[in-house]
A and B are shown apart, each in its own frame.
Chain A
Amino acid sequence: MTKKRIKCLLMYGVAALVLSIPWPSFSADISNDDCMQCHSDEGLSRTESEGIKEKVYVDQNAFNYSMHNINGIKCVDCHEDITELNMDAELPHSAVLAPAQCAKCHAEENEAYQNSVHRKAKGKGVSIPCYSCHEYHYVTKLDSDSVFERENRFCLKCHNPNNSHDWLPQKEAHFAYVECSVCHAPAAAKRINLRFYDLIQQKFLNADDILAALKTDTKGFMPLIDIDKDGIINPDEFDNMVFLFRQANLRGTFHAELVVEMSPSVHQINRGGAQGDCNQCHEPTSPFFQDITFYLRTKDDRLVTNQVDRKVLETYNLNHFYALGGTRVRLLDMIGILIFLGGLGVAAAHLTIRILTIPLRQRRKEQEHHS
């Protein structure tokens, strides 16, 4: 066998092997740019059966920042019934497309969703598919989002929390600092996010601002702050961090919020399943106060998380965060107990001396009586 024949056989073999692999139905032929030739037109719409017009415009800038695009997911990976585009036709693909099958990639999330009030609503004639909450094309990372951003983009689109929380003490404070899912998806892991609010610029500083002021970068931040190198910022290190911030002319406060980890169980929200027992949260050993993160969000939406010791919650560095049971200043307790025991002790000591000196007063009374 000649070298040429061997080479030829190898090439055919490789080609046959590649073709025989059960590739997922990703259509490599149709690129996002092909789709955007039409869908970047802001006026593009389709007419529903009832005559209602629905926009089918896709904001490419927003899509570029979506998690799907960042992870290399293409339009036709979700719209998988589009296998070819006939650019000569007025409509290059079928007018009616099958719904995107999110569950094919998000199986765990789907499983949790199947056992949720949002899925069960279908039995009552209300359909709440994934994109009702997550939007069609602009799914972004939520990790670094504030409670305000998370709630506005999800729950508050449909729910008015004021309608059903009158029983809740400090209702408005809970809405402002606690994400809905913290109580409504009890199985989801929780954490407290700390962010730095600059009082001079009156805005939350992102990672770039803070790191530039400290003359370091994302990799250098923790080694600068975490003096004992245990990977956690303890109260002393936090004090030192505040001092470094002041030296760098960063003057502000730390804003704390209670949010859920982005885990599949977040989707398992059920009627009557919310955490309604205040003691579950407002207690020093509550899991709600165990995971504390000081996070830095870069301008390109990357997240740098830094673990913080829960004892930092009990310090005056977090003057603007207070949750009964969870943020108690221990020194204050000790001072308070001393004050109380002081009062009790003075009364007890005085009473004891009064009892011990009864004979003295009796003798004096008798002497006065005799005289």
Chain B
Amino acid sequence: MTIDETKMLYVHPAPVRVWHWVNAAGFILLILTGLQLRYPEIFPFMSLQDAVTIHNYVGFVVIGNYFLWVAYYFGTLKIRIYIPNLITFIPAAIRQALFYGYGIFKGDPNPHHMTPDHKFNAMQQSAYLFLMVLLLPVQMITGLFLWDVQYFQDYIQVFGGIKIIDSVHVLIFFFFAAFMCIHCYLATLGHTPFAHFKAMFTGYEEHH
């Protein structure tokens, strides 16, 4: 394939790119300060008080940023790119899993072809939907409760106590930390290791 045959597809509009990178920076800061909060005796990044302050501010930025995502995707009805097609989902997900687990090593082509209206493969769709509709809201709500435990104490009681809220927050924190590793790794699976990273800045994915 030559460079002339490369087609540039505009798949990441500006609001999505802004949301994505603010979210990414927010997640990194929340993970670092979260580690500092949970393991103050191990991590020497900063004082506990600074970690609390940064964690709180960044938490609110990520919550605000989430509403940017909601406004964009629901406002433009592009949220449908996250909704799996119930008829084709299972075979498409199996095809995609076989590609990641086997075909990619042999050099098979990716069974999913990205277009602006069909941006995610079946596995990405289900993973991101789970993440954006369930995990992130739960993390934001538990984080909000932990931000002012006295103010939200009635809600905290309803869910079984502060330790339950903290446990949910911490488990999702570990999940997000693991997700960041896998997400960054999968982003290197483009036609070059940095192709998807570059696209997330320019908005254009190179289609070969």
Q: Determine which of A279, A329, A350 lies in contact with B48 in the assembled complex, contact meaning CB atoms within 8 Å.
A: A279
B163 lies within 8 A of A339 (CB): no
Chain A residue, CB-CB nearest to B163: A319
Q: Report the minimal beta-carbon distance from B130 to chain A, rounded to whole angstroms.
A: 15
Does A14 make an interface contact (CB < 8 A)?
no
Known contacts A327-B163, A332-B170, A354-B104: A172-B41 contact under CB 8 Å: no
Interface presence of B179 (CB below 8 A): yes
In the assembled complex, A251 has its CB within 8 A of some CB on chain B: no
Q: In the complex, what distance in Å separates the CA atom of A304 from the CA atom of B72?
A: 61
Q: Which of B152-208 contact A (CB under 8 A)?
A: 157, 160-164, 166-167, 170-171, 173-175, 177-182, 184-185
Q: Given A169-B52, A343-B177 in contact, is the A176-B41 Cβ separation under 8 Å?
A: no
Chain B positions 133 through 166: 1 when the CB is less than 8 Å from some CB of chain A, otherwise 0: 0000000000000001111000001001111101
Those of B95-151 within 8 Å (CB) of chain A: 100, 104-107, 148-151
A248 interface residue per 8 A CB criterion: no
Which listed residue (A167, A318, A344) contacts B181, Cβ 8 A?
A: A344
User: How far, in angstroms, from A303 to B160 measured CA to CA in the complex?
Assistant: 30
Cα-based distance from A360 to B105 in the complex (angstroms) = 8
Q: Tell me the B6-55 residues at the A interface (CB within 8 Å).
A: 37-38, 40-41, 47-49, 52-53
Q: Are B105 and A357 in contact (CB under 8 A)?
A: yes
Q: Which residues of B contact A346 (CB under 8 A)?
A: 182
What 1/0 mask marks residues of chain A from 171 to 208 whose CB sits below 8 Å from any chain B CB? 01100100000000000000000000000000000000
Q: Which of A109-117, A136-144, A153-161, A280-288 contacts B (4 or more CB under 8 A)?
A: A280-288
How far, in whole Å, are A328 and B173 apart by their CA atoms in the complex?
A: 15
* Residue-wise interface mask of A (332-371) relative to B, using a CB-CB cutoff of 8 A (1 in contact, 0 not): 1101110110111011001101100100110011000000
Contact of A325 among B40, B163, B185 (CB under 8 A): B40
Chain B residues within an 8 Å CB radius of A253: 161
Q: With A172-B150, A365-B107 as given contacts, are A324 and B163 in contact (CB-CB < 8 Å)?
A: no
Say yes or no: B41 contacts A283, CB within 8 Å: yes
Whether B40 lies near A324 (C-beta < 8 A) is yes
Q: Is A316 an interface residue (CB 8 A)?
A: yes
CA–CA, A343 to B100, complex, Å? Answer: 15
Given A173-B149, A278-B47, A282-B48, do A321 and B174 touch, yes or no (CB 8 Å)?
Answer: no
| Given contacts A169-B53, A172-B148, A172-B151, A339 and B40 within 8 Å (CB-CB) | no
How many A-B residue pairs have C-beta atoms within 8 angstroms? Tell me: 111
Residue of B nearest to A347 (CB): B185
With contact pairs A319-B162, A357-B106 given, residues A350 and B40 touching in the complex (Cβ less than 8 Å) = no
Q: A357-B105, A360-B106 are in contact. Are A322 and B49 (CB under 8 A)?
A: no
Residues of A within 8 A of B181 (CB): 340, 343-344, 347
Q: Assess whether A319 is in contact with B41, with CB atoms less than 8 Å apart.
A: no
Q: Is the CB of B163 within 8 A of A320?
A: yes
Q: CB-nearest residue of chain A relative to B174?
A: A336
Most buried by A among B38, B100, B174: B174
Residues of B within 8 A of A47 (CB): none
Kindly report which residue of chain B lies nearest to residue A284, judged by CB atoms: B41
Interface centre among A170, A336, A365 (most CB of B within 10 A): A336
Which residues of chain A have C-beta atoms less than 8 A from B178's C-beta?
Answer: 339-340, 342-344
- CB neighbours (8 Å) of A169 from chain B are 49, 52-53, 56
Across the interface, do A321 and B163 meet the contact criterion of CB distance under 8 Å?
yes
Q: Given A170-B149, A319-B164, A322-B162, are A339 and B175 also a contact pair (CB < 8 Å)?
A: yes
Chain A residues in 8 Å Cβ range of B52: 169, 278
Inter-chain contact A170/B174, CB cutoff 8 Å = no
Q: Which chain B residues border A284 with CB–CB below 8 Å? A: 41
Sample 29 A-B pairs with CB under 8 A, ordered by A number: A169-B49, A169-B52, A169-B56, A170-B150, A172-B150, A173-B148, A279-B48, A283-B40, A319-B161, A319-B164, A320-B163, A322-B166, A324-B38, A324-B40, A329-B163, A329-B167, A332-B170, A339-B171, A339-B177, A340-B177, A340-B178, A343-B177, A343-B179, A343-B180, A346-B182, A350-B185, A353-B105, A357-B106, A361-B105
4 new A-B contacts, CB < 8 A, other than A282-B48, A322-B166, A361-B107, are A169-B52, A278-B49, A332-B170, A360-B106
